[in-house]
Amino acid sequence: MSAFVNGPARAAVDLRRASVRGGLVRRGAAVLAGTGIALAGLAVLAPVASADTTINGCVIVSKPTVDKFTDCAAANLAGAALEKMDLSFAKLAGANLTGTNLADSNLSGADLTAANMSLALFTNANLAKANLTNAYAPDANFDHADLREANLKGARFSGASLIGANLAGALDQNLAGAVTKEGEAPADNGSAGSATLPAVTPDTPLFGSAFAGSTNISGEGTGGEYVPPPAPMIGSAVTGSTNISGVG
């Protein structure tokens, strides 16, 4: 009789336990489902990685590093809107940046060797430690730009504005003809074609040289004696009223 009584009681207890376990399972499933929804929501809201930008065939690398950077040497970016772009460590040697808007851009450590930057806008740009060797920047605007420790060897700033620019530690800076103070007029009235060129001799290499405006290098090698012709002018840009008659 005891076994008969205990049997139904035990069965009832087992049913209650099963019911409790079932409730826990259902609640656990609901919690997991809610978590899944929350995770899905987080996945949707996660930021999307910035993509590279291509302008005139130049691929501008997003979030550049010293090992991964924009490589657009000799690219034609004339008149492009590149303000606030991160071009740190970029290779822009020989690039055409005529009239390009690079205001507030980051060009720290960039290579701008022999780049044409005439009429370009570099206001508030970061050019710290950039290489501007032989850069051509007449009438460009570098107001309040950071040029600390930049290499300015051979760079030409005729008619350019560098009001408020930071040139601390800049190498070989020659700002002849540039405006460096408020109300100051350029010594050459801002003529892009009046930059002083070095004397041309038969041994002077003219690779990649830019001759613009009224430039006269005539008469080289006409002193009566035989003088070997000057070094080749391969890659030189000759524009405007340029007289090279009698060379060699």
- Find tokens 């899944």 and name the residue: 36
Average pLDDT in the 112-139 region? 98
Helix, strand, coil shares, percent, the chain, to 5: 20, 15, 65
For the cut 90, the answer to whether the pLDDT of residue 246 exceeds it is no
**pLDDT, tens digit (0-9, with 9 covering 90-100), for 19-37:** 545 554 454 444 434 444 3
Average pLDDT in the 231-244 region? 44
What is the model's pLDDT at position 113?
Answer: 98
What is the model's pLDDT at position 14?
Answer: 56
What is the model's pLDDT at position 20?
Answer: 47
CB contact at 8 A, 236 and 209: yes
pTM listed for this prediction: 0.58
Query: Could you tell me which residues are beta bridge partners of residue 86?
Result: 106
What is the model's pLDDT at position 51?
Answer: 84
What is the model's pLDDT at position 248?
Answer: 43
**Cβ atoms < 10 Å from Cβ of 156:** 27
First-last CA distance in the chain? 131
CB contact at 8 A, 65 and 89: yes
Worst-scoring range by mean pLDDT, 49-58, 127-136, 172-181?
A: 49-58
**pLDDT, tens digit (0-9, with 9 covering 90-100), for 83-120:** 999 999 999 999 999 999 999 999 999 999 999 999 99
**pLDDT, tens digit (0-9, with 9 covering 90-100), for 144-195:** 999 999 999 999 999 999 999 999 999 999 999 999 998 876 654 433 333 3
The answer to whether the Cα torsion of 159, 161, 163, 164 is positive or negative is: negative
Two structure tokens written together for 38: 């929350």
Two structure tokens written together for 124: 């508030």
CB contact at 8 A, 239 and 214: no
Return the closest-CA partner of residue 198 out of 174, 220, 217: 217
List Cβ neighbours of 94 (8 Å cut-off, separation of 6 or more): 73, 74, 113, 114, 115, 208
CB contact at 8 A, 230 and 247: yes
For the cut 90, the answer to whether the pLDDT of residue 76 exceeds it is yes
What is the model's pLDDT at position 6?
Answer: 56
Mean residue pLDDT of the chain comes to 72
What is the model's pLDDT at position 183?
Answer: 81
For the cut 70, the answer to whether the pLDDT of residue 64 exceeds it is yes
Two structure tokens written together for 27: 């609640």
CB contact at 8 A, 221 and 202: yes
Which range has highest mean pLDDT (7-16, 88-97, 191-200)?
88-97
What is the model's pLDDT at position 239?
Answer: 44
